[in-house]
Structure 1
């Protein structure tokens, strides 16, 4: 989904942003994340973001934290997205889309009167995120597609192969990473990958381990 704003330098991004903690959620640069917003604190966050710079940081709670904690510790790296679509449902919910802009490092969490969480962040080390397609020529596309095909076959799933073949490497790697069914630690590893090539390699490795584990379980069940 296209954004009306293009960011060329990290200095163009805000130093303080609202953060949305969501376990096992992964937003990546230029990826699209649809969200169904219904909690009052996050409805307020969306209202304020629309009035402001439309930037929201997606970040995971620390994997060691309990899901029952009201305010769990956060991991140190998240991804900021820009609100690029907004709709009201008529029953008090918002349907929004965040389009990924850049990863950030959380420097400190702030406390104020807002019902949602805010943080001071730095985008400086992730300046390459602002360059579309950066490093995509280094991705082993053949290995990625082979692993994807193996995963789909093992799980009896279909895919739009025409669309997949047309997709540039960046869009393909990031979309597959975001849609992957893996847990918080794997999602965080995909987020923090040094570059697109590394992210693709992590995605292939984690998928192959999952396939091997599934084959092992299947073999055990037949014995």
Structure 2
């Protein structure tokens, strides 16, 4: 059996940030190395991964007088993450970058091809396992979760309710919904990382519903 194809991805580890495919992640980038990373990804059309972290490898400098000129803490990334293409939204007068990353797929970390000034690694695509026998239940879970989100949003966020009731949103299949729902839902980062690593849309939906249904 042939080895799965790999793709080079630049890594942007951020503690407690877990991103999912088909969602958009806004970033405010000020560290020199990560401003370089963003610009290189744009210039080279390279995928950028925003990944939750395992631990801190090196602490940030204590003197934070000029954070724009100093690299901050260094982190060990999680081994499964989402990656996508970067769009530059704005550059502030002092050089900070406001960008959006349109996440495409999940990937698993492989060997490094670059470590400085930022990390690039060969990564392999992560996909769900087929589960045709769960189509009906997955559809039910999707509807239950969406109804709960509408209830939570209520009158406080009518714009979100409009999105959740739109034909485009309700027409998503359960697998797509199991990722895109995290554009609106946030849980504890470690729990979200667990959901990200699951290879089953049904399992993701069930875990989300278990949490939401326990809320009053």
Is 1:41 paired with 2:33? yes
Is 1:164 paired with 2:164? yes
| Shift >6 Å, 4+ stretches | none
Is 1:28 paired with 2:25? no
Q: Which residue pairs with 1:146 in the alignment?
A: 147
Separation in structure 2 between the aligned mates of residue 35 and residue 199 of structure 1, nearest angstrom? 26
Q: TM-score, normalised by structure 1?
A: 0.70
Shift of 1:53: 2.1
Shift of 1:67: 9.1
Q: Map of 1:45-64 to 2, 5 A cutoff?
A: 45-62=37-54
Q: TM-score, normalised by structure 2?
A: 0.72
Separation in structure 2 between the aligned mates of residue 99 and residue 43 of structure 1, nearest angstrom? 17
Aligned-CA RMSD value: 3.0
Deviates further, 138-147 or 44-53: 138-147
Unaligned runs of 5+ in 2: 60-72, 130-134
- 8 A contact 2:80–2:106 mirrored in 1: yes
Q: Which residue pairs with 2:10 in the alignment?
A: 18
Separation in structure 2 between the aligned mates of residue 82 and residue 107 of structure 1, nearest angstrom? 19
Question: Per-residue CA shift, 1:32-74, capped at 9, x if unaligned?
Answer: 1111111111100011111212310121111xx2597433322
Tell me the SS of whatever aligns to 2:76: coil
2:77 to 62, 70, 74: 74
Separation in structure 2 between the aligned mates of residue 127 and residue 82 of structure 1, nearest angstrom? 21
Shift of 1:104: 0.5
Structure 1 pair 84–71 and aligned structure 2 pair: CA distance change class (3 A):
closer
How many residues are paired up? 188
Shift of 1:82: 0.9
Deviates further, 89-98 or 165-174: 165-174
